[in-house]
Structure 1
């Protein structure tokens, strides 16, 4: 894993595919590379594990008024290296899991971070796992009671606060480059199944750049912390830490007409379900059968909500 220790931000505001008019940009004054960089330097970090709380990453931050996708923007930067960040005030073609579009109106945090993991290809799912663990840990330290919803959602009380999309490039079975994309609802409009940072912090300052800068900084520190922690701990220790934040544990799910229970996640990112069945011919006792589900093969979904 290649990364920098220290602090650096490139104060750069850019516009792709045409920028927003000046009066549309005014609410984002301060939500720029310098503002995010200063928030990264000042934001408190969790004290556990101790060695991580004393380190700060180095980022090269680029902030855009509008791009199709921050993930694609980073891939298109031929000189982007580990620690390069693309942040957009809005995306016109944001990416979600399984080819879905991530709706990205102004008021949310939409960012992507370039990494150079040098991990084996079979660990690609762990990029999402460690990102989710790191961001949720950082959010909790800031008083946001977030959980992880498998495989890639950040939730509070069962409602979606944000999502993660990781993309990798391989060379001879090694992940040489990866882009981690994250979208967080701050004070943008959300569906009934969503929730915003503003909802959770009870702030009414809809047009302040302050929470946007803070959330962006928390996301960046969370990604870095999660990847760093996974890189320096064994797989079981990390998965135990990840599962401690998993909101789906012990949740019943229906799969092919059978009721199963979520019991964990494997190191390869598969959801583990348990089916208790009876085989009296053999033992007369229940037998635990484990079922492993890949991301994309099954969706845990969100409860349907109604409004009066």
Structure 2
């Protein structure tokens, strides 16, 4: 696996990458590395996880055959815009996949969609020091050859049994996407990420029901909140829905 990673990430000459057959969690491992002051950024990759972490405290099922990796990043960011790390990372990954001919889209706030089904997801964790985010771990799971539920899809299914991108190159694309997105965030602002994120957002323009009110999804703001314009007669307000408050469905 290390060869293709090294080739694609040649510009990241000091990027340590650890690869494991199985771990409890790549996120947990990288926070352990952070505690002993290991070099940042750095990457951990596992071919299976026994205690993978999903968003909102959920367990991420990490069966063999998938790709599970995390990137530990040094970053300075105001905590109120912490969700920008997730938006930037998912945007960067989608950009990389689309360059390879994979028509991947985003499902708000942090899922990767392929043909309307879940291809993967992202979980971001942060450390705050002196009132600022000082480090982050971006964890990603991608369905490659692993079993998936009816709402999911893996790349083997999409390619009808032919794996057109090898596992090591897939990992390199994901890492490069995370680095591209988070570097853009660090060097500019979330405002420069949002247009690209919205371009790939499948949910844009969809009609949803939230707390018995119907509305149309019009965008996402700096905090990752979903912006919904109410459509009831006489209604003109925009509702802001924080990540985790509702779950948008799959096809």
TM-score by length of 1: 0.76
What's the offset of the Cα at 1:39? 4.3
- Matching of residue 269 in structure 1 with residue 224 in structure 2: yes
Please name the residue that 2:192 is paired with.
237
- Matching of residue 132 in structure 1 with residue 87 in structure 2: no
CA contact 1:81–1:114 (8 Å) conserved in 2: no
What's the offset of the Cα at 1:202? 3.7
Question: Larger Cα Rg: Structure 1 or Structure 2?
Answer: 1
- Matching of residue 291 in structure 1 with residue 239 in structure 2: yes
Please name the residue that 1:65 is paired with.
21
The one of the two structures with greater contact order (alpha-carbon pairs below 8 A, sep at least 6) is 2
Identify which of 3, 6, 9 aligns with 1:40.
9
What's the offset of the Cα at 1:57? 6.7
Q: Deviations over 1:112-145 (max 9, x none)?
A: 0001111111111000000000000000000100
TM-score by length of 2: 0.93
What's the offset of the Cα at 1:238? 2.1
Task: Mark the CA change 1:172 to 1:79 in structure 2 (over 3 Å): closer, same or farther.
Answer: closer
Identify which of 246, 251, 259 aligns with 2:206.
251
Task: Mark the CA change 1:234 to 1:84 in structure 2 (over 3 Å): closer, same or farther.
Answer: closer
Cα distance in 2 between the residues matched to 1:127 and 1:237: 13
CA contact 1:144–1:200 (8 Å) conserved in 2: no
Task: Mark the CA change 1:57 to 1:126 in structure 2 (over 3 Å): closer, same or farther.
Answer: farther
CA contact 2:124–2:139 (8 Å) conserved in 1: yes
Task: Mark the CA change 1:271 to 1:85 in structure 2 (over 3 Å): closer, same or farther.
Answer: same
Identify which of 116, 124, 133 aligns with 1:175.
133
CA contact 1:80–1:114 (8 Å) conserved in 2: no
Q: Deviations over 1:239-289 (max 9, x none)?
A: 11211111100111111222111110001110111103434xxxxxxx421
Cα distance in 2 between the residues matched to 1:148 and 1:57: 30
CA contact 2:229–2:239 (8 Å) conserved in 1: yes
Task: Mark the CA change 1:293 to 1:57 in structure 2 (over 3 Å): closer, same or farther.
Answer: farther
5 Å matches for 1:1-308?
A: 31=1, 33-41=2-10, 58-77=14-33, 78-204=36-162, 211-279=166-234, 287-303=235-251
Q: Could you tell me which runs of 5 or more consecutive residues in structure 1 were left unpaired when the two chains were aligned.
A: 1-30, 42-54, 280-286, 304-308
Cα distance in 1 between the residues matched to 2:247 and 2:39: 33
CA contact 2:85–2:185 (8 Å) conserved in 1: no
What's the offset of the Cα at 1:148? 0.8
Cα distance in 2 between the residues matched to 1:94 and 1:216: 17
SS in 2 for 1:143: coil
Q: Deviations over 1:59-118 (max 9, x none)?
A: 210011111000001111123332211101110010111111111111111000001111
Task: Mark the CA change 1:56 to 1:80 in structure 2 (over 3 Å): closer, same or farther.
Answer: closer
